[in-house]
Amino acid sequence: MAQAGGIEDRTVDRNTPALAFSGGGFRATLYHCGALIRLNQLGLLAKISRVSSVSGGSITSGMLAAAWKQLTFQNGVVTDLDAKVIAPLREFCTRSVDTKAVGLGTILPGKSIGDVLADSYDDLFEGISLQDLPDSPQFVFNATNLQTGRLVRLQKIRLADYAVGIIPKPDIRLAVAVAASSAFPPVLSPVEIKVDPAHWVNATGTSHFGDPDYNHRLSLTDGGAYDNLGLETVDDFATVIVSDAGAPFGTEESAHAFWPQQALRVLDIATDQARGLRKRLLFAEAKAAGRIIAFSGIDSVASKYPAPQTLKPDPTAVARLAKMRTRLDPFDEEEQSRLINWGWLMMDVALRSYVAPTEPAPTAYPLPGFPV
């Protein structure tokens, strides 16, 4: 949407392609790695003007953002994507990030779970801030404000909560922005960000501008609580490329009487409905406006896409990948490689179906030892 809650967003040409990375823990981080590889191979990564991400997708996006200025481009293709983006992410996904955050955040004086989570991400981002990121593409890390219930956009040009206002050029560590976006509730959240009330700028439609109960400290949780597909900041671009590794919803033969399990089931239903509504709205608005949507889903069926295909994934293997855990805990080489291959293949069929139809079908996976 071009305008959310009164905050105008016309800082990027909408005729350029935009990319959205969903949540889903390390499963999403790795699936999106495959998407990045295929985008780059087809020369499309260099054309992206905005990357919007939530949760596990923000880990991938954060590494790409941190490395962007050092990447080597030749004829529109990054020649060192693996060394500077994929390999560091794969190493990071061998760690017990969530367990460490909970353990140390519980016992260390002066440190919260969110603080430890952010410190863990600094192993990837080396202390850089949002102001160190490139001007283009724009990287938007989406979190959810627990106080206002609204989306919080964390990016180089601004921090924005359309219920409170805008902080131009926020001085926030990239690791903190990614931690806020990926602070899965209630275990890893909130991530608290202290802000100077004098830095807020009003925007049309805000309801809490200047309110001291809202403008001193932001209590943030996973961006997926508001929008698990990361679509709100990109859904009006002429071309929207979506990599979705969110958890597929499944039916259950019997209902839970034990209230905590029943509460989780109700939350799953609400989340699935919200994701479904966002997807339907995205496609409906795109059709009405003549926009292009290339949607790659971890639970999608490759054969249903119009692009011709040479590689034929095993449905049983795909089902296992789609149901893989969404924690920030160690993924072994096989799990990582198959998720990357699957994210690569689904992004390939989505792009060749709707964005690059003249490209030939690939005949080998990027990690050939681990076919899907």
- Phi first, then psi: give them for residue 298, nearest 5 degrees: -65, -25
Q: Are 12 and 310 in contact (CB under 8 A)?
A: no
Distance CA 265, CA 22 (A): 21
State the Cα–Cα distance between residues 223 and 54, nearest whole angstrom.
Answer: 5
- Point out the catalytic residue in the list 9, 222, 227, 244: 222
DSSP string, 319-350: HHHHTS--SSS---HHHHHHHHHHHHHHHHHH
Residue of 55, 58, 120, 353 marked catalytic: 55
Helix (H), strand (E), coil (C) string for 193-252: EECCHHHCECCCCCCCCCCCCCCCEEEEEECHHHHCCCCCCCCCCCEEEEEECCCCCCCC
Active site residue 353: no
Decide if 219 is catalytic: no
CB 22 within 8 A of CB 300: no
CA distance 337 to 33: 10
Locate 352 and state its tokens.
Answer: 């060749």
Which are the catalytic amino acids? Answer: 55, 222
